[in-house]
Amino acid sequence: MAESKLTGDVFYPPEEIIRHAHARDWGTMAAAAEKDLEGFWAKEANELHWFEHWEKVLDESKKPFYQWFVGGKTNIAYNCLDRHTATARRNKLALMWEGEKGEFRSFSYFALRREVCRFANILRSLGVQKGDRVTIYMGRIPELPIAMLACARIGAIHSVVYGGFTVEALAERIDDSQSKVLITCDGAYQRGKVVPLKQIADEALQRAATVESVLVVRRTGEPVNMEQGRDMWYHELMALPIAGNSCHIETMDAEDPLFLLYTSGTTGKPKAILHTHGGYMVGTYTTLKYVFDIHDADRYWCAADPGWITGHSYIVYGPLLNGATSFMYEGAPTYPYPNRWWSMIEKYGINILYTAPTAIRGLMRFGEAWPNRYDLSSLRLLGSVGEPINPEAWKWYHRVIGKGKCPIMDTWWQTETGMFMITPFPSVPLKPGSGTRPFPGVKMDIYNEEGKPVGIDEEGFLVITTPWPAMMRTIYKDPERYVNQYWSKYPGAYLTGDSAKRDVDGYFWVIGRVDDVLKVSGYRLGTAEIESALVSHPAVAEAAAIGLPHEVKGNAIHAYVILKTGIEKHDRLEEELRNHVAHEMGPIAKPETIQFVDSLPKTRSGKIMRRVLKARALGQEPKDLSTLEE
């Protein structure tokens, strides 16, 4: 493609960025991957350590249950830590952390490995074995990645639950995964306040009965209830002789599970997305290396939460696999003032910043004077993820934060994909709002209802038409749902749930979800979960939740509620219901407004027609009402 003749608003990368890049020529790399997909991924996999080499790169015989690096033996935690401690990188910083109150902690590769080994020994001594599930529910503190890596080291499957979720969301995830161990902390700091995680966990454990041991990291020092025989302090366990500095590493098959991560689907309960040691490792390693152009001297900051896929792949696993220095910050971007992020970039000399459009829009509101007071010249690359970035936010980010010289990597991907799928490289021309093209070796398309590719600039269903190493393997305990949800609409193609367009230059423009999944401040929530939280309140008979555009959050939740007969609406009821959702699911799921109604638009088969509610709320004519009941 003649990149000099691109249409629209185009930003060309500076020469020095291209010169610095691992991949200077996207086209050659994409062509090589197109010609030999297995060879392309095998070359990357060979840069990592395998206890035993694979026999086959890709096995498609049981598709859509694809298998990668079949017969290969490895362990992702070995590749994150031991591979580096065996080299001069052992003294390099693996993790740098700043607490919301300003404390600083750091771990060299050597130190991080030691902590992980000690904690892995503790888990083993509690009887955790290969294949057991361990739930992790914490704030953004270093013990969270330590716990994840310790699980990986001994072959346990971690299930991290975002610290912003609350009672029912946590209980449901513990119960579904049948975890025997819960790792949590006394509390987490958020905007100067303490979120009582242990107290929330105690309440959740009354609803989920499988947990035998609770390990508690002391973060805030606030008093918490410790149940005898069940609850133990992390620091006390880590001081025991059994927490030795070395720990036998489990040999994992490439296809052995690494983690479960629950994410919202179209209906019902959240789904446990399952990722593996081998393919996920190769996918996250490769994508981060090329897209954020990781070099040894870099200080890289992904400002997501480790409790979501972005944090799993690109705070913890991807950076450590690349031997990078990953920076993690505990608190809110604007606490105590809107200078917080910019001051940390200056203080730590951050080179790469990866965040979400909602955070950029939130910081934009405070004006340029805040970032302009800081020296942000260490920045080389910027990134965006989680929802489409509006061109206004893109340009502000590019001009004010990147000073016009830092390309923005707008990466489209999902919990299910494990790794970046549509993404620029530092060397490619950018268009604000487009993630450019699929990663080399990844083929994507946009289909109409009948499964035919749509024309240029036409909207359709975004699909993936090649397997990729970091792809989810299944929904834990529910392979049928995996097939139905992702692979049944179009044979041979993975359905993303997003709609998109492609322009004349082949650039993809993702528009948004086409199902009942909402992106609120970049967080993925299902309308079904919000509705079930509302219905669990004794006053509510039925509920419907929709997302309406919001300047900072992207979407805000609005709910419609039918009260049970005999319940009188009173002044405080709306507030009570909003708080009830926050208590059951988490503050991120709290509806902006609740409207009390007598009926909800439904199809003849009884499904709520949320699009009708949405159209009405936006003052539009709802399209196609042929299935409406009345």
Q: How far is the CB of 288 from ligand PRX (least distance, A)?
A: 13
User: What residues make contact with ligand PRX under the rule CB under 6 A?
Assistant: 263, 308-310, 384-388, 410-415, 435, 496-498, 510, 512-513, 519, 524
CB 184 within 8 A of CB 162: no
The minimum distance between CB 381 and ligand PRX, in angstroms, equals 15
Please state, in angstroms and rounded to a whole number, the distance separating the CA atoms of residues 221 and 217.
10
- In sign, the C-alpha dihedral spanning 543, 549, 552, 554 is positive
Tokens 């990357």 identify what position? Answer: 44
Closest CB 435 distance from ligand PRX, rounded Å: 5
In the 3-class helix/strand/coil scheme, how is 226-257 assigned residue by residue? CCCCCEEEHHHHHCCCCCCCCCCCCCEECCCE
Rounded to the nearest 5 degrees, what angle is found at the Cα of 622, between the Cα atoms of 621 and 628? Answer: 140
Rounded Cα distance between 110 and 89, Å, is 8
DSSP per residue over 452-486, as a string?
PBP-TT--EEEEE-S--TT---EETT-HHHHHHHH
Name the minimum Å distance from CB 617 to ligand PRX. 21
Q: What is the C-alpha separation between 524 and 504, in angstroms, rounded?
A: 31
Residue 173 or residue 219: which is nearer to ligand PRX going by CB? 173
Query: For 341, phi and psi rounded to 5 degrees?
Result: -65, -45
For ligand PRX, the closer CB: 549 or 566: 549
201 three-state secondary structure: helix
H helix intervals, 330-444: 340-348, 357-364, 369-372, 391-396
CA 335, 337, 343 angle in degrees (round to 5)?
Answer: 95
Say if residues 292 and 409 touch (Cβ distance below 8 Å): yes
Cβ pair 391, 11 in contact under 8 A: no
Residue 243 to residues 35, 234, 246, Cα–Cα distance (Å): 49, 11, 8
**Dist. CA 22–CA 289, nearest whole Å:** 8
Least Cβ distance, residue 426 to ligand PRX (angstroms)? 16
237/389 with CB nearer ligand PRX: 389
Min. distance of Cβ 191 from ligand PRX in angstroms?
23
Min CB(513)–ligand PRX separation in Å? 5
93 or 282, CB closer to ligand PRX? 282
Query: Is the CB of 356 or the CB of 594 nearer to ligand PRX?
Result: 356
- Min CB(140)–ligand PRX separation in Å: 16
Q: How far is the CB of 104 from ligand PRX (least distance, A)?
A: 28
Judged by CB, which is closer to ligand PRX: 16, or 392? Answer: 392
| 415/521 with CB nearer ligand PRX | 415
The tokens for 311 are 């944090």
User: Residue 135 Cβ, how far from ligand PRX at the closest point, in Å?
Assistant: 19
Minimum separation from the CB atom of position 564 to ligand PRX (A): 34
Choose between 309 and 400: whose C-beta lies nearer to ligand PRX. 309
DSSP 2-23: -GGG--SS-BPPPHHHHHH-S-
Element (DSSP H or E) covering residue 109: helix 109-125
Residue 95 or residue 408: which is nearer to ligand PRX going by CB? 408
Instruction: Specify the residue, 96 or 464, whose C-beta has the smaller distance to ligand PRX.
Output: 464
Query: In angstroms, rounded to a whole number, what is the distance separating the alpha carbons of residues 81 and 118?
Result: 14
Give the C-alpha separation, 510 to 538, whole Å: 40
What are the structure tokens assigned to 402, written together? 């990147």
Per DSSP, 316 falls in state: I
115 or 387, CB closer to ligand PRX? 387
Which residue, among 602, 599, 525, 581, has the nearest Cα to 556 in the 3D structure?
Answer: 525
Nearer to ligand PRX, 45 or 525 (CB): 525
Q: How far is the CB of 512 from ligand PRX (least distance, A)?
A: 6
Q: Report the nearest approach of ligand PRX to the CB of residue 261 (Å).
A: 9
Q: Is 30 or 385 the residue whose CB approaches ligand PRX more closely?
A: 385
In 10 A of CB 84, how many CB atoms?
A: 23
